[in-house]
Amino acid sequence: LDLTTWTQTQGRRWPSRIHISRRFLEAAIGARYRVVELASAKSESSYCPARAVIVDGSRPFDRNWYAAMPRLSLIACFNTGYDGIDVDWARQRGIVVTYGRDVNHEDVADFAVGQILNIYRKISIGNRWVHDGEWQSGRRLMTRSLAGLRLGIVGLGSIGNALARRADALRMVTSWWAPRDRPGVSWPRAPSLIELAHGTDVLVIAARANESNRGLISATVLRALGPQGVIINVARGSLVDEAAVIDALRRGTLGAAALDVYRDEPTSHSLWADVPHIYLSPHIAGVTNLAMSRMATLVRSNLDAFFDGKPTLTPVRATL
């Protein structure tokens, strides 16, 4: 069987996330499949016969590849996001799309918890204090207990659920909002995103990104959250109006923001140089050893199922 992996966007020098997991992927699939790395492919003939591609689903999939791989019948996103794939377009051509469902939702939830603790319990601020001699000069730090902290979760999928369970153990009070209700959930759903922001201290964005929710976390939402409010984005950069966040932090109308994802990745460090109360991370909320291993295993299982003529394990469902 022929297979290609798509590790680099043409014309961009940004090494894809797949580089991290390549050894996992090769160990997982190399025995059964012939693998061609698109980024280093010498000629079109090397990937022309490919029947499947393994891709970073969060990055745009160039349809020109389709023309170059006429036998393509499976797009296997190794990660959770598939916002880079036009699923309807693929379906019309009979191409199955799979994704890394639930491979790292708990790790992402852990990371959000880590940023909540970092911000409210002043973990990195405390470290700076001691190193800078502030403690010795007699100043003392007071921190805010997580007990009773009002957590608002935007999107109650697997990440949101994992976060809400952790928040229970950490004595936070959880509410959530998503366009669609989820019957049987024990945490209350706010009537609207604005009301969720109004009634919570910290808003964690854990929704799947699509065209309909671009810029969902707008200046209006940030205003509803208020000057003590905190946002944490562990979903996708497109969901948050980055310029509005920067503006609100500069004007003190938002308390703090922790961003793991950005409009452009990698984000430019100069964009954040003089932004106060900003906590940045380089899209690592879901990047763990365990996630990489699970992604590779799931890609293999999806490939095997597909080429054995069975239903894939984690197909992307119809968007409507």
Q: Active-site residue numbers? A: 236, 265, 283
Of the candidates 58, 64, 87, 62, which has an alpha carbon nearest to the alpha carbon of residue 74? 87
Does 129 sit near a copy of itself (CB under 8 A)? yes
In sequence order, what are the residues at sequence separation of 6 or more whose Cβ sits closer than 8 angstroms to the Cβ of residue 91? 97, 318
Does 127 sit near a copy of itself (CB under 8 A)? yes
Does 15 sit near a copy of itself (CB under 8 A)? yes
> How many whole angstroms separate alpha carbon 131 and alpha carbon 133?
6
Stretches 34-42, 50-58, 163-171, 183-191: which one binds a copy of itself (CB under 8 A)? Answer: 163-171
Stretches 39-47, 139-147, 214-222, 296-304: which one binds a copy of itself (CB under 8 A)? Answer: 139-147
Residue number, 69 or 285, with CB nearest to a copy of itself: 285
Does 66 sit near a copy of itself (CB under 8 A)? no
Does 186 sit near a copy of itself (CB under 8 A)? no
Residues 47, 38: contact at Cβ < 8 Å? Answer: yes
Does 250 sit near a copy of itself (CB under 8 A)? no
Q: Edge-to-edge strand order for the sheet containing 230-233?
A: 173-177, 150-154, 202-205, 230-233, 256-259, 278-280
Residue number, 15 or 227, with CB nearest to a copy of itself: 15
- Residues numbered 291-320 forming contacts with a copy of itself, rule: CB under 8 A: 291-292
- Cβ 131 to a copy of itself shortest distance, Å: 6
Residues 255, 232: contact at Cβ < 8 Å? Answer: no
Element at 76 (helix H, strand E): strand 74-77
- Residues numbered 142-161 forming contacts with a copy of itself, rule: CB under 8 A: 142-148
Does 49 sit near a copy of itself (CB under 8 A)? no
Does 102 sit near a copy of itself (CB under 8 A)? no
Structure tokens at 61: 């999939």
Stretches 123-131, 175-183, 191-199, 225-233: which one binds a copy of itself (CB under 8 A)? Answer: 123-131
Stretches 99-107, 177-185, 230-238, 306-314: which one binds a copy of itself (CB under 8 A)? Answer: 99-107
In the chain, the N- to C-terminal Cα span, in Å, equals 33
- Residues numbered 266-295 forming contacts with a copy of itself, rule: CB under 8 A: 266-269, 272-273, 279-282, 284, 287-292
Residue 2 β-bridge partners? 34
- Count other Cβ atoms within 10 Å, centred on residue 293: 15
Residue number, 234 or 254, with CB nearest to a copy of itself: 234
Residue number, 194 or 246, with CB nearest to a copy of itself: 246
Does 131 sit near a copy of itself (CB under 8 A)? yes
Residues 245, 231: contact at Cβ < 8 Å? Answer: yes
Burial class (CB in 10 A: 0-12, 13-18, 19+), 40: exposed
Torsions phi, psi of 217, nearest 5?
A: -85, 90
The 3-class secondary structure across 198-258, one letter per residue, is: HCCCEEEECCCCCHHHCCCECHHHHHHHCCCCEEEECCCHHHECHHHHHHHHHHCCCCEEE
- Cβ 112 to a copy of itself shortest distance, Å: 10
Q: Which residues bind a copy of itself (CB under 8 A)?
A: 13-15, 17, 19-20, 104, 106-107, 110-111, 113-115, 117-118, 121-124, 126-127, 129-136, 138, 140-148, 165-166, 169-171, 266-269, 272-273, 279-282, 284, 287-292
